[in-house]
Structure 1
């Protein structure tokens, strides 16, 4: 194994609460709709800008997008805690000369806010966001692009995510795919598409690296 590519929301950071909150504010204040977290989750796939453009009835979509980012940035520190265990995992992978990347449906703008707030800037060898692909997850376009930029073959890489869309993208890219449920908030309780393995804690993942399972 030469590279590990991660999803972001619910995988590398417990950011789903801030995503849900910011979307709920947008749809309440612009469409007067009270959406549940599950209703918002059903919209996931495109980036935040795509979600708002595709689902908001109010014609002031660009204004609503700016409002989303304002809410996301303003309450990030109060709703999203730094996770030392994840941060230590990433640095230990780099020290072991394993390339690490992100393939996320998030837009670059919100990802940059989160990476800065969580002290993860500069850690990754490649980052592919929802802005960088024509076809969002579960299409594997972004993952294939990440592997190409990392200069690794699919059999030399692992893709880690917390949703069915992540697992489908990984399997379609013929990459060893891990479904994780190691953060307080993740997207999928039970995977409809079975990943190559399911991991419940960062400690379990590190152990699987040590014993050569991966």
Structure 2
């Protein structure tokens, strides 16, 4: 077993994606970024989505030494996305066995970190309702680190617990998750509730893929902690 287990949140632990008005969020985020001078090229290159647009703008500001108040701007952009996440998070249901695998790993002595492109406030609110005691840390978008597939968040979690990459594992559902894990040399376990997700993970190089957190727990021979 590993000393540190890192989990993605959306579609790995909780079904947040279908509960969030992402299109409505874009109608707020894009005008804000335009109002502060984000170039038209950015919106042409990323015509849909909130997280890709936010991260592309974040990357752009890293190379623009003349951009004032970068931290404040990024925090505000992140907060726009956070608002629509929070509007849907209370409806997000856990994947089968999600809270149970976290509790079992925690009981085994491992540290648990959620490494996610969602806001840590969104994730914390969900866990407050679904067993937050199983989670030791949340590394979210509001750290202002590069979003996955960049390795930044995974590296932050490793450094937080002073854990070598050989002593850590990452569980996620997307090619961004596996690419972040691969770039850090961390073992990856895929969660794929559908064939489409499974095919995407296989194409990205995943070799250990499970239909749910419950199936992963069986593979790891984990049993629920006694109450």
Shared fold (TM-score, shorter chain, > 0.5)? yes
Contact kept, 8 Å, 1:46 with 1:130, in 2: the verdict is no
User: Where does residue 49 of structure 2 map in the other structure?
Assistant: 40
CA distance in 2 between partners of 1:46 and 1:101 (Å)? 21
Contact kept, 8 Å, 1:176 with 1:196, in 2: the verdict is no
* Alignment pair present for 1:109 and 2:108: no
Determine which of 83, 90, 93 is the counterpart of 2:102.
Answer: 90
Contact kept, 8 Å, 2:82 with 2:119, in 1: the verdict is no
SS of equivalent residue, structure 1 residue 160:
strand
TM alignment of 1:166-181, pairs within 5 A: 166-181=177-192
Which consecutive unaligned segments of at least 5 residues does structure 2 have? 32-46, 59-73, 223-227
TM alignment of 1:163-202, pairs within 5 A: 163-182=174-193, 189-191=199-201, 192-202=203-213
User: Where does residue 55 of structure 1 map in the other structure?
Assistant: none
Contact kept, 8 Å, 1:45 with 1:136, in 2: the verdict is no
CA RMSD in angstroms, aligned pairs only: 3.6
Quote how far apart the aligned CAs of 1:87 are.
Answer: 1.2
Greater helix proportion: 2
User: Where does residue 35 of structure 1 map in the other structure?
Assistant: none
User: Where does residue 15 of structure 1 map in the other structure?
Assistant: 16
CA distance in 1 between partners of 2:159 and 2:9 (Å)? 19
Cα distance change of structure 1 residues 30 and 81 upon mapping to structure 2, 3 Å threshold: same
Q: Would you say how many aligned residue pairs link Structure 1 and Structure 2?
A: 192
CA distance in 1 between partners of 2:28 and 2:18 (Å)? 18
User: Where does residue 81 of structure 1 map in the other structure?
Assistant: 93
Deviations 1:93-115 (A, max 9, x none): 11111221111111223223333
SS of equivalent residue, structure 1 residue 204:
helix
Contact kept, 8 Å, 1:7 with 1:161, in 2: the verdict is yes
* Alignment pair present for 1:141 and 2:152: yes
CA distance in 2 between partners of 1:188 and 1:44 (Å)? 26
CA distance in 2 between partners of 1:42 and 1:127 (Å)? 17
The answer to which of 64-73 and 133-142 deviates more is 64-73
Which consecutive unaligned segments of at least 5 residues does structure 1 have? 33-37, 51-60
Contact kept, 8 Å, 1:3 with 1:98, in 2: the verdict is yes
Contact kept, 8 Å, 2:114 with 2:135, in 1: the verdict is yes
Cα distance change of structure 1 residues 122 and 39 upon mapping to structure 2, 3 Å threshold: same
